[in-house]
Amino acid sequence: MMRKVFSYIAIVFLFFACDTEVNYRAPFTEKPILYCAINADSSTQFVMLKKSFYDNNSVGNNYIQDAKIQFITERESVELADTIINNNGSEVELYYTKNFKPRLGENVKIKAELNDGKIITSSIVIPGLTKFYIDQIGLIIPPVVDPQYMYVSWTLRNQNENLSFLPRLTIHYKVTKNNSEEELTYEVPSEYITSENKKTPIYPLASRVQYITYWQKTINTAFLEISKGDPDKSNYTIQYIELEVYIMEDNLAGYSASIESFNRGYSVKIYEPLLSNINGGLGVFGAYIKRGKRIPFDEDYITSFGYKFEK
């Protein structure tokens, strides 16, 4: 979430340095770094373009301006604008377009011509399918088939190859306080790890399997967490529970799994040796689509926490 994906992009590039007198590192070569994850459900797309810097102590803006960036398919060529957006008071520089919605299964090329004459490119195939559906037999929270866990599987028809899936189970709820109402979400982890009396949520990773299992005790903990520290549970109204599945092509799926943080917006890290499918530079060019389904819940289960539910 799943939070709002594509709300902003903030990329941190790390290159390791050695402080000893002997320099074991190869001579530094500045490289352009491009990051783009196409949302094939939308016509608005973003691209981040930066240059690599020497070490972690580097400061300053390494954003590459005045590049010509295009999405190219057999049908069209769309150029992105160089702009600045405001995200929670911080300015973020990026390239964007509101006029590119690729077709499912379509080949897409990205081409960036830098103002120093360098050209970087990459090509991908947009995830393709004709139908997506979630098996709903016995699907309810809490589960009735086996009260210990909830098993969810999904099926795709006419899918293209090398797809991966990133599931997210999210509680959508409202909090009413001081005559004001706020809508919030809480993402249910696959498990919690407790260390020194602190719970750390662990979320599912992208994989090729077409199912996910959530232990009911973990779901119970998630419901308790949304009102943690607030004695008045009647302030909370559960609106709905939704399972979303991010269907990703290989490059984005591999990158997502490697950083374990695709669902954290664009606060991500790129390590040079880790993964790159950019010709002439570094970075990741990928694509995804999202499909989802609301999961029914037992009303008595919701009220057992002291919460209300939206009818």
Q: What is the pLDDT of residues 51-104, one digit of tens each?
A: 876 455 545 568 899 999 999 999 999 999 988 877 777 778 899 999 999 999
Structure tokens at 198: 């602190």
Backbone angles phi, psi at 170, to 5 degrees: -125, 135
Number of Cβ within 10 Å of residue 202's Cβ equals 12
Number of Cβ within 10 Å of residue 56's Cβ equals 11
Q: How far apart are the first and last CA of the chain?
A: 24
Sign of CA dihedral 296, 299, 305, 308: positive
The reported pLDDT for the residue numbered 266 is 38
The reported pLDDT for the residue numbered 24 is 35
276 falls in which pLDDT band (50, 70, 90)?
confident
What three-state secondary structure class fits 262? Answer: helix
Between residues 35 and 5, which one has the greater pLDDT?
35
| Spatial distance between the Cα atoms of 269 and 263, rounded to a whole number of angstroms | 13
Structure tokens at 171: 């509680």
Parallel, antiparallel or unpaired: strands 90-97 and 81-87 = antiparallel
What pTM, to 2 d.p., does this model score? Answer: 0.81
Tokens 């990026």 sit at which residue?
Answer: 94
Please provide the average confidence, as pLDDT, over all residues in the chain: 84
pLDDT in tens, 94-118: 999 999 999 999 999 999 999 889 9
136 falls in which pLDDT band (50, 70, 90)?
confident
Number of Cβ within 10 Å of residue 66's Cβ equals 9
The reported pLDDT for the residue numbered 29 is 67
The reported pLDDT for the residue numbered 60 is 57
Of 174, 176, 187, the residue nearest 3 (C-alpha)? 187
Could you tell me if 294 and 46 are in contact, meaning their C-beta atoms sit under 8 angstroms apart? no
Domain boundaries, the chain: 10-309
pLDDT of residue 5 exceeding 70: no
Backbone angles phi, psi at 263, to 5 degrees: -80, 10
Side-chain half-sphere CA neighbours of 134 within 13 A:
20
Which percentage of the chain shows pLDDT scores above 90? 64
